[in-house]
Amino acid sequence: MEKKKIVILGAGFAGLKLARKLNNNPHFSVTLIDRYNYHQFQPLFYQVATAAINASDISFPIRKVFQESKNISVRLAEVTKINKEKNEVETTIGDFSYDYLVVSMGCTTNFFGNKQIEELSFPMKSTNEALTLKNRLLTNFESAYSAESPEEMEEIMNIVVVGGGPTGVELSGAIAQMKKFILPKDYPDLDFSKLNIYLIEGSPNLLGPMSDLAHKKSFEYLSNMGVNIWTEGRVVDYDGKTISLADGRTVKTRNLIWAAGVTGNVPDGAVTKEELQRGNRMKVDRTSKIIGTNNIYAIGDIASMETPKYPNGHPQLARVAGDQAEHLAKNFDKIAQGFSDDKLSLFEYSDPGSMATVGKRKAVVDLPKFSFSGRLAWFTWMFLHLMLILTVRNKVAIFFNWAHTYFTNDSSLRIIVRPTKKDFRFNLKQYRRFPKNRDKEIEA
């Protein structure tokens, strides 16, 4: 029998899990398309940004995963459009036909329409952005030696993180630990008592979706670590030197890290703007099929699925993405066996809990029936994240770095890496193939 063609867009938690579940399936020929040739473990981006672990430790070559595969093809490309009439995906390297299409392109940073903040702030939704932020943090302190005025020094010594979710909380705590244990040793002739870390959150609590214990403990931990927490603060403007809030407060800084929200990476032609749900997510039924289509599915952060337990859609978590991918793979098996759509199983998510770390021996964990914090929560967070890492080599590398940092309160990964002119010229040629993003990328 001729194999049905499945095209998967995106190799994040959802797309990669689905491809692995379909690996060597005799009924399907699978093409996995991503703009990068590696899978990224997003929960640990903040540790790359603060030089706690290497970027290679949380990035896994996609082709290596499928070296023994007989039905998986990997292609490196930008998706430009979905042509539903022709059942084709248009990309920068050509068109791909499909019998079934799965969109799992995840989310990107949401700047809420503020172009000035988008241009001047530092997001952290990819390995490249985490490395850029690491370079920025390190070069920032180097520039302190050439500060020509107290005002310029204040701008250098203020670091502002916007967004009090797990990313913002974990990043603020990591920078606070650098301030206490590492920076005074690296820069003994700088006064780091003047280094101020601000965490700005628009709602009344940090870690909003989590428990009251998590709200209270995260605030307490960060405050004791010296982080200035401003809740109910909405950033409205940033000119590269001063942040302005809606209530009139301002902060002078050259370092604005934006972790305030996400928006779906919706490919052109998938759905109309009117059909998009909150957060730029595509509405799907409980088999993950996009409403109004016959053979297009969406899983992961980009999908909005209403169920009795989650009437407003599921949380945008790696666990949800993986469970949806596994469920869809089982339904594809049923489709191959001739099951009709009304015989497919319906997805429901069973929440195992959530967690966030703040610093050494400081974390919060919410389980379905109880919550806890402190040292036990911190070890729980480390163990579960280590188990989610894809390969044994990466698990060992991360564990070694964590152990070294735990006992020494230091790391040896604070290396500033800048692209060469040759790299830039080569990349410039590549960007010309991506006219949609060319101007923005060249300027960056």
Distance, in Å, from the CA atom of 444 to the CA atom of 30, rounded to the nearest integer, reads 34
The reported pLDDT for the residue numbered 190 is 93
The reported pLDDT for the residue numbered 420 is 61
| The two three-digit tokens of residue 184, written as one number | 């005074």
Nearest to residue 339, comparing CAs of 348, 328, 331, 349?
A: 331
Residue for token pair 């996995």: 32
Q: Where are the domains of the chain?
A: 4-109+263-343, 115-260, 418-444
- Give yes or no on whether 4-109+263-343 and 115-260 have one common fold: yes
Computed from CA positions of residues 108, 112, 115, 120, in that sequence, does the dihedral angle turn out positive or negative? Answer: negative
- Measured CA to CA in angstroms, residue 373 lies from 58, 119, 223 at distances of 26, 37, 16
The third-level CATH classification (topology) of the domain covering 4-109+263-343 is FAD/NAD(P)-binding domain (3.50.50)
- Measured CA to CA in angstroms, residue 220 lies from 57, 171, 206, 229 at distances of 31, 16, 11, 10
| The two three-digit tokens of residue 383, written as one number | 């163990």
Distance, in Å, from the CA atom of 362 to the CA atom of 372, rounded to the nearest integer, reads 11
Class of domain 115-260: alpha beta
- Count the neighbouring beta carbons within 10 Å of the beta carbon of residue 208: 13
Tell me the pLDDT of the chain (444 aa) as tens digits. Answer: 689 999 999 999 999 999 999 999 999 999 999 999 999 999 999 999 999 999 999 999 999 999 999 999 999 999 999 999 999 999 999 999 999 999 999 999 999 989 999 999 999 999 999 999 999 999 999 999 999 999 999 999 999 999 999 999 999 999 999 999 999 999 999 999 999 999 999 999 999 989 999 999 999 999 999 999 999 999 999 999 999 999 999 999 999 999 998 999 999 998 888 889 989 999 999 999 999 999 999 999 999 999 999 998 999 999 999 999 999 999 999 999 999 888 999 999 998 899 999 999 999 999 988 999 999 999 999 999 999 898 899 999 999 999 999 999 988 888 888 766 555 444 444 444 444 444 444 444
Q: Which residues of 404-422 are buried (b: 16+ CB within 10 A; e: fewer)?
A: ebeeeeebebbeeeeeeee
pTM, to two decimals: 0.89
- Count the neighbouring beta carbons within 10 Å of the beta carbon of residue 70: 10
Residues 6+ apart with CB under 8 A from 164: 199, 200, 201, 202, 203, 205, 206, 207, 208, 229, 231
Computed from CA positions of residues 65, 70, 72, 77, in that sequence, does the dihedral angle turn out positive or negative? Answer: positive
